[in-house]
Amino acid sequence: MLALHDFHAARGAQFSVYNGAEAVTSYGSSKSEYNALASEAALIDLSFRSRICLVGSDREKFLHGQVTNDVQRLKVGEGTYAALVTHKGKLETDLFIYKLQDELLLDFEPGLTQKITDRLSKYIIAEDVQIIDVAPHYTLLSVQGPRAAEVLSPFFPELPTKALTWTKTTYPNGDLYLMSNGRFGPPGFDLFVPTADTNSVAEKLASSIKPAGLNACEIARIENGIPRFGIDMDESNLAPEALRENAISYAKGCYIGQEVIARIRTYGQVAKALRLIRLPDEPQHLPTKAEKLFHNAKEVGFITSSTLSPKHGAKVALAYVRKEANSVGQSLNVATPEGPLATIISA
């Protein structure tokens, strides 16, 4: 159960369980919650996500050899977006990594703490590295939206200004870490809050920031073309098929899966890649996961997630499309129960 379950329930929250973790889906009006997220600022409880810390003198060198992005270049106060992949280049999770003073903080999708801990532990041989589940000790709140910095500035003396950098401030039960991370498209900030301080921080923020649930976040995420592990990508995907370009460093040294990923870049594109597609207003059908895409009667891809997008004024979807048909502006058809539905790749 969320540490703030009663806080959310008092505000009319509706709950769901995702990968064994409780999350708020809505407070009764996903439309108004989305409007706050897209045009102002919204308070979101992301404490259902997994959070671990790596400690020990070899933590940076070790993690650098495990993930797709450059960890050793990070200075204290900086972070990066990356992924863990298998030796075949297949995804195990994407994640945000932050370099704290004496730890590396990893933030990733819910329900994966044991899996990722086991994966990392497998490669700890003689290194001085310990893995700690910090989710019981720190909750994760987020303020997202174009006015996020404006509404947070009265509460925090210093805001991080560059993406994936952080500042901290002292609270009665520990340090609160404030990370610059626009998760769903608009700017935003994550707050890693000592669990014992969570209710007081949430009450303070809720006095001026509208809360939003995951339904509103999903609309913003999909319409901005941001994939989510477990929905738009999974263990069957090669990292370059789904990840944003900033998740992979092609200049760093060796890591698990690097040879496969480097070979893909050297010899050409992946066979398929994730694209944002736009759909007509009529008929009313909104494509569902796994519905197939066709080009000139040939199957070329499939839908992973979709939404009715206020930003685009249309239905949009994320979909994998084969390289011969995935250029921007390409027309495709979705095979629906009602018949073919014309679409166009928009990004």
Mean per-residue pLDDT for 5-23? Answer: 96
Residue 52 confidence (pLDDT) above 70: yes
Structure confidence at residue 300 (pLDDT): 94
Q: What is the pLDDT of residues 258-279, one digit of tens each?
A: 999 999 888 877 899 999 999 8
For residue 333, what are the contacts with CB-CB under 8 A and spacing of at least 6?
Answer: 293, 294, 295, 340, 341, 342, 343
Cα 243 to Cα 222: distance, rounded to the nearest angstrom: 14
Q: What is the pLDDT of residues 193-217, one digit of tens each?
A: 999 999 999 999 999 999 999 999 9
Q: What is the mean pLDDT of the chain?
A: 94
Residue 178 confidence (pLDDT) above 70: yes
For residue 173, what are the contacts with CB-CB under 8 A and spacing of at least 6?
Answer: 194, 195, 196, 197
335/189: higher pLDDT = 189
Residue 285 confidence (pLDDT) above 90: no
Task: Label the pairing between strands 210-211 and 42-45.
Answer: parallel
Is-contact 246 163, C-beta < 8 A? no
Structure confidence at residue 174 (pLDDT): 95
Of the listed ranges 92-106, 186-200, 320-334, the least confidently predicted one is 320-334
Cα 108 to Cα 119: distance, rounded to the nearest angstrom: 14
Mean per-residue pLDDT for 107-121? Answer: 98
Residue 284 confidence (pLDDT) above 80: no
Is-contact 120 177, C-beta < 8 A? no
Structure confidence at residue 171 (pLDDT): 94
Is-contact 269 310, C-beta < 8 A? no
Of the listed ranges 16-20, 320-324, 341-345, the least confidently predicted one is 341-345
Exposed e or buried b per residue across 166-177, where buried means at least 16 C-beta atoms within 10 angstroms of its C-beta: bbbeeeeebebb
Phi-psi region at 239: left, alpha or beta (left = phi > 0; alpha = psi -120 to 50)? alpha
Backbone angles phi, psi at 114, to 5 degrees: -65, -40
Structure confidence at residue 282 (pLDDT): 67
Q: What is the pLDDT of residues 228-252, one digit of tens each?
A: 999 999 999 999 999 887 899 999 8
Mean per-residue pLDDT for 3-26? Answer: 97
Is-contact 195 139, C-beta < 8 A? yes
Q: For residue 322, what are its two tokens?
A: 């084969």
Structure confidence at residue 253 (pLDDT): 83
Residue 109 confidence class, pLDDT cut points 50, 70, 90:
very high
Q: What is the pLDDT of residues 151-166, one digit of tens each?
A: 999 999 899 999 999 9
Residue 283 confidence class, pLDDT cut points 50, 70, 90:
low
Cα 32 to Cα 12: distance, rounded to the nearest angstrom: 14
Asked if residue 110 has a cis previous peptide bond (ω within 30° of 0), the answer is no
